[in-house]
Amino acid sequence: MGEQTKILVATLKDEIIKQNDKQTQTITETISNTIEEQLLPINNEAMKSEILLLKSKVKYLELESRKNNVLLHGVEEKETNNLELINTLIELFNMPSSTEQAAEEDHDWDKWEMSNVYRIGKKT
């Protein structure tokens, strides 16, 4: 009984260890899948709200960047640098106006009243 009992006990012990490992793996996979399923909607909702927030911020920033912009057409391209462009625009803005209302609202513009000046498009 000694030798066969030892073999039988060793075989049973190996089978129990294999079953425990298999059960542990199955339980771990089940728990992982359950957690992922529960977190997926939370992550999606959090991401959706974050995307909406970022979209509104982008829209606000785009609107802010367009404030106080003046787009002029037909200004001759005779300047060679940005300072000359500013001076050309100051001359244009300070030209006497032909309307009565504009004459009443006369304003002497200088370069300190312009925050940024640049051309758009290709130089002709």
Tell me which residue range forms the domain holding 86.
69-124
Q: Which of 72, 67, 79, 83 is nearest to 120 (CA)?
A: 72
pLDDT of 62 reads 87
State the pTM of this model: 0.44
pLDDT per residue over 35-90, tens digit each? 888 877 777 788 888 999 999 999 999 888 878 788 888 888 888 888 888 888 88
Q: Which of 107, 124, 115, 111 is nearest to 73 (CA)?
A: 124
pLDDT of 58 reads 94
pLDDT per residue over 83-110, tens digit each? 888 888 888 888 877 766 555 666 777 8
Domain boundary among 67, 89, 111: 67
Domain boundary among 26, 43, 67: 67
Q: How many domains does the structure of the chain reveal?
A: 2
